[in-house]
Structure 1
Amino acid sequence: MAELLQSRTLEVPRSEWTAIVAKYAGADVRRALWQVVNTLVPLGALLWAMYYFIDVAPWVTALLVLPGAGLLVRTFIIMHDCAHSSFLPWPKVNDALGFVTGVLTLTPFAQWRRDHALHHASSGDLDRRGHGDVPTITVKEYLERDARGRLIYRLIRHPLSLMLVGPLHLMLNQRFRGRSKATKTKQLYSVWYTNLAIAAAITVSILLWGPRAFLLVYLPCMYVAAAAGIWLFYVQHQFEDAYWETHDEWDYATAAITGSSHLRLHPILQWFTGSIGLHHVHHIGPKIPNFRLQEAHDDNPIFEAAPLMTIGMGVKALRLALYDEETKRLVRFSDVQAA
């Protein structure tokens, strides 16, 4: 691994990894529909149970927040696969399911799909940062900032900001989008339609069950799910030996496999997260549906090059904040101050 990281280029012919991707890519209708059933049906039942127990046994409602959040994460993974057109073989049905699961997870489907595609095309490229990634600057860029600029960046990258404020920012920021490289007219319509659908769903739930159904049932689950999602996305690309290169030196396959982590999770957590911890497999083959990522990883030694992460390592990685272009590593603020 040390030799691989030093070279910064994964010596694997394009024909090899494209053949691997082709073997596992493509929709599997039976497995996809079963995943929809075993995700959305339990989610609906659990949200109903949480509402039922608010007055009967509020502690039960509180305990059910975690599995509720887990099912929302799994719902997001379905939307994620729909965004890659890897979930169902019928484009219109695929997009309709993506929209519905996007509403359930407060995510405008078409806009997120465009932004996420840019993320896949530029992950690990120092010259193309800012597409669906955690804000990251280099040590040199940090030192060139004035005191105010450094403070703002430190606040953004603080673990508490990421995990406590981040979910609110994620849920609210996606409600209001202006035109940009990732947001054209079609994406703006997606944002507006999603907002209308969310507003309608909230209104109906309040009329039928009162405001508590939203405030004490759905919102806590969504907040925890968003926090979990932010952490998952963080550890997928933010670790000490993370891959970052200037555009001229950047390589897609290397960025995908060595710039994306293999987060090893308990099978139950892997189920809730739709195997997204196998992020290196997903990045090299975004057309591979989530339920085939483990199979692809196990069958092909090429994926052993991915940096292995555990939950503990992922928590420690929250302290990493700056990319050192000299050592080609992510470092902490304290490492720069001591230098």
Structure 2
Amino acid sequence: MELTPLERTNRRLAGEPVDRAPNQNILMAFAARYIGSTYDRLAQDYRVLVEGNLRACEAFGIDMVSAISDPLREASAFGAPVVFPYDAVPMCPAPPLAEVFDLDRLQPWDPWEAERPRDRLLAIQEYRRRVGGHYPICGWVEGAAAEAADLRGVSQFLEDTALEPERAHALLEVCTQAAIRFAVAQVEAGADFIGIGDAVASLMSPRAYRTFALPYEQRIIRAVHDAGGRVKLHICGNTTRHLADMATSGADIIDLDWMVDLAEGVRTIGGAAAVSGNMNPVAVMRDSTPEEVAAAVRECLAAGDARLIVSAGCEIPADTPHENLLAHHRVLVEAGGAA
């Protein structure tokens, strides 16, 4: 049997037989370069984002199209200044709450009215028009902790969690409400999944994660589920000490970055969610030979279970050799339903 990417993903999440394990590599800069465009254009024009993802997913056997581009869509809507260096990641040179903590500085926004959130919604609508029902469509929001760090600055926000917890919670509440509105709007626009990026959480102690990140992730996840969508939780970095807590998030998929031992992650998360991971995107996917990539994919399959999604731990670099992505796909096809 040959399944569509959406069928493959749905069956894998349910622990049912599949033709091969899904591949849900995250594409941003790579998608832009693959179609001869640049990262700054992809981050600002949904048509570039959609075309790059669709063509790369088709070419390399990737089983999810995504509307992710950068972590500053919500920040820009709140009023943060965002600059777009040529062919590079968007940047916020001056977080709006870095110097003065005043929530009134954050402008209210509607996902369909704010420029950059609206661009993401248009991407999802375009995916739905072109490949809805064939590929799983993944929207994206920043987790509340990640968004608070974008608006306050990472160091300032983490300092607030230690010294001014009431201040931190007040900002997290604003960020959570915005994330829920944005996530639900994406589901209504046609997203099957919402990715939640909460990178700053990997810098927190387990106690801080349980206090300042996890409860807000859980609220966003419940809202997405209530809207009819599913969620993948993506925390960049070494989340080994958070695995048991992440398993209580309610996420349907939990991404593990390359620093995490995949077998340990699968054991700890257990049946609470499907695990996705976790080859090193640079040392393995970009800098290794196709044979070494193939060996790494086989190692992931051996460490996984019947729900494992085999992907790099984070975004595929722009200059990743095409042969390496094809090697990833080839091993999954060869392993077939036994994977």
TM-score, structure 2 as length reference: 0.28
TM-score, structure 1 as length reference: 0.28
Considering fraction of residues, name the structure with more helix: 1
- Structure with larger Rg: 1
Higher relative CO (CA 8 A, sep ≥ 6), structure 1 or 2?
Answer: 1
Considering fraction of residues, name the structure with more strand: 2
